[in-house]
Structure 1
């Protein structure tokens, strides 16, 4: 009975083991390498406009909240920009009241102005004529109090609206980032194995973690502030025009200078932000590689080289980050300088207009406040643009993952309802018909392969490293598709079967023992979630997992991580074998499955493996020829071609490629045993 395995990177997709690995991506792309094979970051400017529009498009599912954020922001800004105009009336009331105290009580304003002109105080007369006052009345404190309470109410309500707006915006950004993470995770489940194999793992992880986090932080910090700043600029300009169009022109004269400065800084900082995040990905790749192979680094004494490679990339990252932050930091002092020039100009021109009676003191005070309100958001907009550059640079790196070509779910143009399906129950016949394949078009590996494997046969595949052994089974499971020819399972071309359905009939045990954080029982059930406790125990006993589990403190409930925790390498491998045993696949693939266990355990495991292979087609990839003597067919591969096939005895008798491999493995061992025997003969009693 066939059981469906869970779809996942370790359940259905496996890194090639002892056979040929893909040598890398097409020319020009990033390559997997050692510590010195860091990916060179792109220095050219990113496509800011298109990427920013796409980033904004991620907010569409939350359009109602976005509209609410816009409405709250506009309302709060209107209140904030109206408040200074209202406050200016209080200044006028206080100043006019103070002036009125020096004018004769009982006279009208016209009489007071005429008296001032008659006494030669023309400028004072012009000033009084522009004021709203009653001679001799003094300051109207009730009116001033009413105005101040109105201003306080405006500021309080505006602050509350900004709090609600910030809360809504935070919800929108966090849910957008959550969806983006989910989309990237789902995408990585759909990309072909070649995509993951051809990229440094740490660099890919950096896009999924660091870059998405930076996108969220940039949107959170800049989106709300940018929106408020733009609304404030527009609102302040309108209010300044209502006060004095002449001073408004003076204030707006700084805009071209601001845009020129911002444009030059953006032009120079874009490439630095792209390089910063590319270097971050490279550095993460080196760190992940060094810690994953920490034991090898120690064993071979490569610590200084690892440190040197890290120091080099770290220095490059520091330099591009320094340049990016320096350029961003220039914006604030330049804008403050421009704002101060604007302030001086407004004070001088405003003072002249007050003295001439063309403006009131309150209007000038209000306009100075508006000029400050105008300069600050313009400065913030310029700063937010630099922050957005960093976020958009990260977003573009994430979009590159989302835009990666996917594994076709329905092959060769078939629709979802037009796929072929494997027969049930599956017999397990596998046919290679003139198969041709290469990881690169200009480097063919398998050329014209023909092979028929009968149901229930155990097929062992041997050959030197790089001969194409693992490639053969990767083609059967459609981790890669053939370039020409076809592979048939029970007469059905595997390219016409959805990958998930095809792989549900396969079980695989790799040379690397992939485990996941969880209990031992969880890891055993990974291939068949509905297995009962009795079936789990049966599989564990058949593969000798039960023997060592009882020595653990929590037995099958012992928590292990992806590195196996407190259990040995061999015990981890036993768990992966038991996992395949419990899954009950129709076709079994064993890729150097016993390479990590000791000789005594291996001999015992052969019996369990024989039971596991009973009544199912099995592919066994092996380097140790002693483990495949009982195989029905042994295929000997060299340079992607099958050069010999037959039983163990027949191939030895032929004294060909298999015989040479066998002699290379066992002649040295036999010679060593003979030499040790001779040495024992001459030892003193």
Structure 2
């Protein structure tokens, strides 16, 4: 096969693995910044669904409503009672200058006779006026104490309402995080192939946190504000229908302004959180591969990509905050105009005697308390828009198609022997690009099967199908005669030990990382697995031995040592089936020979699939499969394949010619 032909096959297979062109995957390098297109915002259904998450907290929300309603009622009564104190003070100030002889009606009649009709109307409109008497400080004090008690009780009720609501919201977000975590465990591997890790992490961390903040800040304030508006309207109508009509004119104006501005800000908030996810994806990829970035001198490109997405986030964030921020000053302006009109009309009515000064004072308080919650609701629009935009991104994860459902009554393999059979198996990552077609293969228990071929030939895909990471297009795979789709994924994967070329270790001790293969293993079993894989050799050279804590990137041990720990983890799981995907690629030649000896003991009565590029490491394989473009083009023992002079012999010869080739001047 020519070099061009091999390259074409690799490109085709790699393209098939990635799926349709242009689809971002989590396998791309540090410079890739592709992100799936965000769907358009749909505010009302998303907001309704978000509020629906609170349904299990109905009883708590009823309690919140009851406490909030009681608090609002008390706060609504307060200004009316406080107006009585103002009336007592005003009546005392006016009354002390009036003659003590005669009644209020007589004094008013005398004033009218002298042409002071306006003053007469004022006196007649004061119910607490006592001619010749001053301010009744005792009565004023009683009113003030009553108002104080009302406001204290109202504050306690509001605190109780907020306390209950905080618990309800946090339990809801706890359940949402749990649901997202459960959903991630039910999603098929292709979903993660098509999602940059930084973008997905942003959805399950930043966006959920933003939803929690939005619910916490808006629900309490929104409920209180709406109840306050209703209570204030009732009190204003009770005091003066005329002034109430003037105050209510602001409602349609407020609704129109809020709707107009909110409609324009929603798209900015969606873009803001989309840009946040994109930026997180760049940061995560760049810092994961920061060594490669520096080795290839791509710092300028990384900075340019970061700067571009950071600028996008700045523009979206500025647009969202600026547009939604217009609401607050606009509502304040409308409220101040309303306040001026009410003050002027109320003053005229006091002068005419049709209203008391205390009622005007109470009404002005009600008008401020009426416009204030409207302003607060308007100012919360940006927070609600942001929260719903984040909720939409979380709902996208929850609505993603799940992996194929397991059998209702799955078969259980208690003592598997490791016989694997592929029966007319066809599979492709993309329907338009076939990969594996009509594959038949039988592997007997205890056999070591080596899979070789050029990059992109489908070697890793073959073992991924055994693990049921992907579902077949047609055909079936059986383990000991049982279709793997009849087994639970937990049962199937529990019988398989897998060691990948890319090591994965978590932050924890070496002992914990080895025991990850079987958490119930004893200390002796962990040490035995470490000794079998020669981890024990280098562990004792570390300061804390098996208690050495590995950092997030396991940078305090070498790549080969990391690989040995992952092999020990597979050893400890005691699987019926071993899958080794270039498992010894990071160890030195001497350690590789030792590990292979240990694997030979482990493979007894176990089936092993070994993906290898170094053909010298698979001489002892019982069966070698040579794959090209998803097809098995040759199979047989090492000696038979070399003797046949086919594709394997060509690969073998090319590899060793490359190893001894001398540079030509």
1:421 aligns with 2:437: no
Could you say which structure has the greater relative contact order, defined with CA pairs below 8 angstroms and 6 or more residues apart? 1
Q: TM (normalized to structure 1)?
A: 0.92
Q: Return 5+ residue gaps in structure 1 as ranges.
A: 1-18, 680-685
1:126 aligns with 2:112: no
Q: Deviations over 1:231-288 (max 9, x none)?
A: 1111111111111010000011111111111011111001100000000000000000
Pairs within 5 Å for 1:369-448: 369-410=365-406, 414-415=407-408, 418-422=409-413, 424-448=414-438
**1:22 positional shift:** 6.2
Equivalent runs, 1:638-649 vs 2, <5 Å: 638-649=628-639
Match for 1:355 among 351, 354, 374? Answer: 351
Q: Secondary structure of the residue that 2:380 maps to in structure 1?
A: helix
- Residue 29 and residue 359 in structure 1: after superposition, are their counterparts in 2 closer, same or farther (change >3 A)? farther
Helix, strand or coil at the partner of 2:372: helix
Partner of 1:573: 563
Rounded Cα–Cα distance in structure 2 between residues aligned with 1:57 and 1:126? 57
Distance 2:137 2:215 in 1: 47
Aligned counterparts, 1:645-656, within 5 A: 645-656=635-646
Give CA deviations for 1:364-414 in whole Å, capped at 9, x if unaligned: 11111111111111000011122111011111111111122222341xxx4
**1:207 aligns to 2:207 (yes or no):** no
Contact 1:447 1:640 in 2 (8 A): yes
Query: What is the TM-score with the length of structure 2 in the denominator?
Result: 0.95
* Number of the residue aligned with 1:469: 459
2:7 alignment partner in structure 1:
none
1:280 aligns with 2:280: no
| Shift of residue 485, structure 1, vs aligned partner | 0.9
Distance 1:209-1:27 versus aligned 2 partners, 3 A rule = same
**Aligned residue runs from structure 1 range 529-568, under 5 A:** 529-568=519-558
Contact 1:509 1:590 in 2 (8 A): yes
C-alpha displacement at 1:513, in angstroms?
Answer: 1.1
Q: Is the 8 A contact 1:22 1:194 kept in 2?
A: no
Partner of 1:12: none
**How far 1:436 sits from its partner (Å)?**
0.5
Name the structure 1 match of 2:617.
627
Q: Give the gaps of 5 or more residues in structure 2.
A: 1-12
The answer on whether the counterparts of 1:467 and 1:637 sit within 8 Å (CA) in structure 2 is yes
1:314 matched to 2:336: no
Alignment of 1:190-229 (within 5 A): 190-229=186-225
State the secondary structure of the residue aligned to 2:422: strand
Partner of 1:85: 80
Q: Is 2:322 aligned against 1:332? A: no
- Of the three residues 40, 47, 50, the one matched with 1:55 is 50
Give the Å deviation of 1:26.
Answer: 5.5
Alpha-carbon distance, 1:166 to partner:
2.1
**Which deviates more from structure 2 when the two are superposed, residues 629-638 or residues 62-71?**
62-71
1:511 matched to which residue of 2?
Answer: 501
- Measured at CA, do residues 74 and 28 of structure 1 come closer, stay the same or move farther in structure 2, by a change above 3 Å? farther
State how far apart, in whole Å, the 1-side matches of 2:204 and 2:19 are.
20
Question: Residues 27 and 171 from structure 1, CA distance in 2 versus in 1: closer, same or farther, beyond 3 angstroms?
Answer: farther
Establish whether residue 113 from structure 1 lines up as the match of residue 108 from structure 2: yes
- Superposed CA deviations along residues 346-372 of structure 1, whole A, max 9, x for unmatched, are 111112211221111111111111111
8 A Cα contact 1:89 1:147, kept in partner: yes
Change (3 A) 1:378 1:41: farther
Structure 2 distance, partners of 1:540, 1:287, is: 36
Cα distance in 2 between the residues matched to 1:84 and 1:28: 64
- Tell me how far 1:43 sits from its aligned partner: 7.5
| Residues 554-607 of structure 1 deviation map (CA, whole Å, 9 limit, x = unaligned) | 111111134214111100100111111111100100000001111221122221
Kindly state the Cα deviation for residue 67 of structure 1 after the two structures are TM-superposed.
Answer: 1.7
Distance 1:40 1:476 in 2: 29
Q: Spell out, residue by residue over 1:174-227, the C-alpha distance to the aligned partner (whole angstroms, 9 max, x if none).
A: 222222222211211111111111110000000111101111111122111111
Q: CA separation in 2, counterparts of 1:513 and 1:40? A: 28
Residue pair 1:20, 1:471 contacting (<8 A) in 2 also: no
By how many angstroms is 1:313 displaced?
A: 0.2
Please give the alpha-carbon distance, in whole angstroms, between the structure 1 residues aligned to 2:554 and 2:613: 24
Inter-partner Cα distance in structure 2 for 1:43 and 1:267: 17
CA distance in 2, matches of 1:282, 1:68: 41
Write out per-residue CA displacement over residues 644-664 of structure 1, whole angstroms, 9 at most, x where no aligned residue. 000011111111110111111
Q: What CA RMSD, in Å, does the superposition of the two structures yield over aligned residues?
A: 1.8
Alpha-carbon distance in 2 for matches of 1:89, 1:530: 75
8 A contact 2:36–2:195 mirrored in 1: no
Decide whether the 8 Å contact of 2:426 with 2:473 is kept in 1: yes
Cα distance in 1 between the residues matched to 2:92 and 2:547:
85
What's the CA shift for 1:626? 0.8
What SS does the aligned partner of 1:440 have?
Answer: coil
d(CA) in 2 for partners of 1:662 and 1:550?
39
Counterpart residue number, 2:68: 73
- Tell me by how many angstroms 1:134 deviates: 2.2
CA distance in 2, matches of 1:231, 1:243: 19
- For residues 435-472 of structure 1, the C-alpha deviation after alignment (integer angstroms, 9 at most, x for no partner) is 11001111110011111111111100000010000110
Aligned equivalent of 1:595: 585
